[in-house]
């Protein structure tokens, strides 16, 4: 189950699209690390990266939405907070499970599902809204 960025996930806002691509790349690396039996420390580093990068991306995305007066900013913020909370839960579950590959697979499935659904159903609306302003 590779976690791959596809062109149909483009929002049309360069910064957001570039960050989404990086996110997919790192999520895929996390999955591959688990699948290939990498050390628990490496996987924890990947979780750290995803956690930090997610917060940075959401902050940048929310700043952009605010700059264009995006009407669904508060809903997006709530979805972002929920994702950050779930990511922290998955990390804790991994740490307490004794580095269980099943947890990594579940984490990656959640990340992949959330990213593709959120980008397709929510973030694309940001790009559509921004294009209407031009």
pLDDT digits (tens, 9 = 90+) for 73-109: 999 999 999 999 998 888 888 888 876 777 777 777 8
Tokens of 55: 């917060």
Residue closest to 83 by CA, chosen among 65, 61, 100, 99: 61
User: Which residue is associated with the tokens 């957001």?
Assistant: 16
With a cut of 70, say whether residue 39 has pLDDT above it. Answer: no
Q: Give CA separation, 96 vs 11, 87, 103, in Å.
A: 37, 14, 10
DSSP three-state, residue 22: helix
Q: By the 8 A CB rule, do 33 and 105 touch?
A: no
What is the rounded average pLDDT of the residues 53-74?
Answer: 94
pLDDT of residue 22: 87
Fold observed for domain 13-133: 1.20.120
Between CA 131 and CA 110 the distance in angstroms is 30
Tokens of 56: 């940075």
pLDDT of residue 71: 96
Total-model pTM: 0.83
- What is the rounded end-to-end Cα distance, in angstroms, of the chain? 39
Q: By the 8 A CB rule, do 132 and 71 touch?
A: no
Buried (b) or exposed (e) across 1-16, using 16+ Cβ within 10 A?
Answer: eebebeeebbbebeeb
Tokens of 120: 């397709």
Question: Percent of the chain having pLDDT more than 90?
Answer: 31
Domain-wise residue ranges, the chain: 13-133
């Amino acid at each position: 189950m590779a976690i791959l960025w596809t062109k149909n996930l483009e929002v049309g806002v360069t910064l957001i699209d570039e960050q989404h691509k990086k996110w997919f790349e790192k999520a895929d690396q996390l999955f591959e690390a688990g699948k290939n039996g990498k050390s628990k420390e490496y996987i924890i580093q990947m979780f750290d990266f995803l956690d930090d990068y997610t917060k940075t991306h959401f902050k940048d995305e929310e700043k952009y939405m605010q700059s264009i007066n995006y009407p669904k900013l508060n809903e997006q913020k709530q979805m972002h907070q929920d994702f950050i909370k779930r990511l922290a839960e998955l990390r804790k579950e991994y740490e307490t499970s004794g580095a269980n590959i099943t947890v990594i697979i579940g984490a990656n499935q959640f990340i992949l599902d959330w990213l593709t659904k959120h980008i397709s159903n929510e973030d694309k609306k940001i790009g559509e809204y921004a294009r209407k302003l031009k």
